[in-house]
Amino acid sequence: MFKKGNTFIVNFGFVIILLFTLFYVLYIWANLIIPFIIALLFSFAIIWLSNFYKKLRIPSFLSFTFSLLTYIWVFWLIWKLFWTNIDELVKWLPLYQARILEIYSSVFDFFGIDAPASFTEVLNEINLQYVFTLVIGWFTSIFSKTWIILFYVLFILLEYRYFKNKLYLMIVNNAQRVHIIETLEKIKADVKSYFVIKTIVSFLTAVFSYIIMIAFKLDFAIFWSMLVFILNFIPNIGSIIAVLFPSLLSLVQPWFTPYDSVFMISGLTWIQVLMWNIIEPRFMWNRLNLSPLVIIISLWFWWTLWWVVGMLLSVPIMVIINIILWKIPVTRPIAILLSEKWDLQIDDSDEVANNRKKIIKSFKEKFGKIKTKSKK
């Protein structure tokens, strides 16, 4: 029906339609899919930390228990510090609002100009406590689905033990098994690398930012440093927002001079530039192999689709999509277009290759036992 020359165009068009349909489904079912993705990542994080404890010669059951308790303790500590500081910050907001009005009036007095009455009335009418509460509530809305996420985590961890065996029995062709295993191992290795490196760099950035804010006696330094840690998971613009909030606060604190604000803002900016333009690229972007332009576009796309959660997950999602596109011959040109470099070989990681060999060996041993039992 179609000429050979048109086959590629037809297949390419089919893939595009399929992708648009997929993204539409992701948008419509966001309330179900987002908790599942978070649960999936959290489950993998538990498994990775459990494997780390196993390397310390801790028994399997205890290593899994320690891993789960570690994450529970970390999240509880973050939650406790976060909300304690928010309550204190809300109480201080009227003082900061009065300080904003004072600075606003002094600027016009300095130039000998009368402040616009309409704008002054607007500033007086704004309730910073209400606005801040709305912003925090919107930002932390994902925590309202905590029980759904934990429900997913439970069943993902139960299913994880048998998934590899099911995968082996589902696929008859050995070449296809290797092909799928390579893809899954590449995805697992790259997503793991992304979150490990991102967590370490974000933590170091938050610690250094906290030291600077404490040195200048900025209010709620621990809260702003925690916000720095979270926001730095958002590519590119997250670091700008992370510096913006404490910078604005430094301008309205009564005991801060303009010189204090300038020096503190310079220090926070220098840390962000050092971490995200020098330290992180040396470990991160060469491995993920995504074009910087693609990262920016995907950031806004996933923001439109899933809001804040989409921004936080935009890079790992694009890494997974690009690996899958590379493994499909028809969509390989798209993968090359999305990549920073043209080379997207799946087996370029020693860790991936070693894990793949172990999985294939495990499959063969278990499948051999199944065959033996069936013969008996």
CA proximity to 374, closest of 169, 158, 159, 173:
169
pLDDT value for 120: 60
CA proximity to 337, closest of 290, 296, 302:
290
Sign of CA pseudo-dihedral 33, 39, 43, 46: positive
What does the domain layout of the chain look like in residue ranges? 173-358
Contacts with 227 (C-beta within 8 Å, 6 or more apart), sequence order: 242, 245
Question: Please, what is the average pLDDT of the chain?
Answer: 78
User: What is the C-alpha to C-alpha distance for residues 298 and 235, in angstroms, rounded to an integer?
Assistant: 10
In this prediction the pTM is 0.77
pLDDT value for 147: 80
Please give the residue that has the higher pLDDT: either 83 or 316.
Answer: 316
Q: Say whether pLDDT at 293 is over 80.
A: yes
pLDDT band at 349 (very low <50, low <70, confident <90, very high): very low
Contacts with 38 (C-beta within 8 Å, 6 or more apart), sequence order: 142, 149, 309
Over range 308-317, report the average pLDDT: 86
CA proximity to 223, closest of 127, 131, 91:
91
Tell me: the pLDDT tens digits for 208-228? 999 999 999 998 899 899 889
Q: Is residue 291 helix, strand or coil?
A: coil
Over range 15-21, report the average pLDDT: 79
Tell me: the pLDDT tens digits for 166-180? 777 777 777 777 778
pLDDT value for 347: 46
Q: Is residue 235 helix, strand or coil?
A: coil
CA proximity to 222, closest of 77, 69, 99, 73:
77
